[in-house]
Chains A and B, each alone.
Chain A
Amino acid sequence: MKILVCVKQVPDMEGRFNPNAAGTWFDEAGLAFRMNDYDEFAVEEAVRLKERLGGEAEVTVLSVGPDRVIETIRKAMAMGCDRGVHVRDEGAAERDPWQIASMIAGYARSRAYGLVFTGMQSLDRGSAQVGVLVAELLGLSCATTAVGFSCDGGTATVERELEGGAKAVVRLKLPALVTCQLGLNNPRYPTLPNILKAKRRELVILTPDELGIEAPLVATAGFSRHERSGACTVLEGELDGLAARVIDLLDERTAVLRRGGGR
């Protein structure tokens, strides 16, 4: 079986975000990039499936973005993907989900993948659309938010996570696309020998035009910092003083210390 996994590189959310000059997305300066959390689970599941199937199973990892995303493709290869596809697109960060999906579908269309894995959403844009759109464009059966996955050749069984942590167990006909939720598995850490091996694996570079990128369906009219609505006091400084202030505030604002806390 041929397996495809789609990954995105996103900035660390702990970084400081500033709007770019056009005011349509963030300026990348000063941000550290890494693989989208959700996609790590997708890569791990794809590799596990390959390992279970053995034989001719192989995993292709695809990422759309500027040259920095090669690092993320290499990481996925170090986790066990056999080959990489880099859709080199300087403008990827500001493409809408429909455009990203059109490129992925353009690549996958003639390649007969039995299973496609994606993260359920990205940490930065968080639209939760790309995976489902790819499935629709390719006519694959699809389930989102997988926290459990198994496959027996002709069908896949997915545990979909619902509100409150309940699950819906669903069966999909293959070929299928599954979007992966946090906790689906335990993504492996690449080992040094595997990191070295990954450097020698095939990496194909393609352009958006070759893959038939479509025109956008939405436009960004504004991008700004979220202004806090609450009145949060921020305390900084030397630790002893900070601890003393916290205890004073606990005393003033809560009954916790009087109730016999503070043991």
Chain B
Amino acid sequence: MKKALLVAECRQGRLVADYAELPGFARALGSESSMVLVGYPEELPRFDGRLHFADAREYGEYNPDVHKRLVLRAVEAERPDYVVFMHSSYGWDLAPRVAAAMRAAQVSEVSGIGDGGFVTGCCNGKMRRTVRPLTPCAVLTLRQGAFHAERGGEPRCLPLEAEKAASVQLLRYEPPAGGGIDLSRAEVVVSAGRGVGRQEHIELVRALAEALGGEVGASRPVVDAGWLEHGRQIGSTGQTVAPSLYVACGVSGAIQHVAGMKGSGFVIAINTDRDAPIAEVADLLVAADLEQFLPVLISKLRS
């Protein structure tokens, strides 16, 4: 039986909950598993198996040089076929360091298993690749939400140690720049994406939101460009919304955007590209240029 070493994470004093998808993946793969964590004794994962554990009060939270060494220690102890991270800000940062040290293949953001390899999306979710590692041990990062969460009982803790010299030092955390805008209870959200093309066209999106009695949201490039306030960004690094109606205007539907709106009721996309990945979560895709279509829709709604 293959063996997987699962790497969990603690951030800002807490165990990050999606660690539970790691054992779910190991089960889907049909492999045995053990876990490694730099964390806190009062925040242990619920996992049936060996947990190689180092205390974050001693080894720090984001401390990649040292965490790499600790994970490599656990690799020496377990000799796994796979070292598995979540594709999170911790995982995509640490996984390649571990892979490089082992000269191991890495497959990023795995969303499925099949056809002699690991399935991963590419080209903004329009295409998918199946990738086969060519090295005896492979490093993987998992797409959030792709595998079932699975929790067990108390893990069996084994202490981990490593040298503490580091070239990167975590100074502090800063909270998100929210700006006091809360879209989480809005019944209707109309979002502007980069497809609005110009700042002036934000007014069309605003007018549609008004006509539908809703709030204006945005994709990341729109707030990065300063066309709307940062607090209106929807997605994995912005707000999460679940309105009964979500209208995405010129939003392609990147996974990080969809993470913030996939709980919406009825989803309408307005997009010139009928293959835009937003169709994955939309009920309706209006294949049209929003600059021409929105004025028509708004005036019909008003009359």
A contact residues vs B (CB 8 Å cutoff)? 11, 13-14, 16-17, 19, 26, 37, 96-98, 120-121, 123-129, 132-133, 136-137, 141-145, 157, 159-173, 176, 182-183, 186, 216-226, 228-236, 239-240, 242-244, 246-247, 249-250, 253-256, 259-263
Contacts and interface: CB of A to CB of B under 8 A. Distances in A.
Interface in B76-113: 87-89, 92-93, 95-97, 99-101, 103-109
Contact of A126 (B99, B109, B297, B301): B109
Contact of B134 (A183, A218, A226): A218
A132 B88 CA distance: 15
Given A218-B132, A247-B301, A166 B92 contact: no
A14 B273 contact: yes
Given A144-B93, A236-B274, A254-B266, A166 B173 contact: yes
A195 B89 CA distance: 36
B127 interface: yes
A172 B167 contact: yes
A218 B131 contact: yes
**Which 8 pairs show the lowest CB-CB distances between chains A and B?**
A165-B176, A141-B167, A136-B100, A222-B130, A132-B96, A217-B105, A183-B224, A261-B213
B188 A223 contact: no
A142 B168 CA distance: 7
B283 A262 contact: no
Contacts of B233: 165
A217 B213 CA distance: 53
Contact of B187 (A137, A159, A256): A256
A170 B169 contact: yes
Nearest to B278: A232
Given A218-B134, A255-B244, A246 B297 contact: yes
A166 B103 CA distance: 32
Contacts, number: 275
B268 interface: yes
B72 to A, nearest CB: 12
B125 A243 contact: no
A30 B152 CA distance: 51
A262 B212 contact: yes
Among A14, A216, A249: residue with most chain B CB under 10 A: A14
Kindly name the residue among B64, B123, B135, B292 whose own CB sees the greatest number of chain A CB atoms within 10 A.
Answer: B123
A246 B284 contact: yes
B108 A170 contact: no
B237 A217 contact: no
A230 B173 contact: no
Contacts of B286: 235, 242, 246
B252 to A, nearest CB: 6
Contacts of A19: 127
Contacts of A263: 210-211, 213, 301-302
A169 B174 contact: yes
B56 interface: no
B156 interface: no
A253 B266 contact: yes
B173 A226 contact: no
A26 B168 contact: no
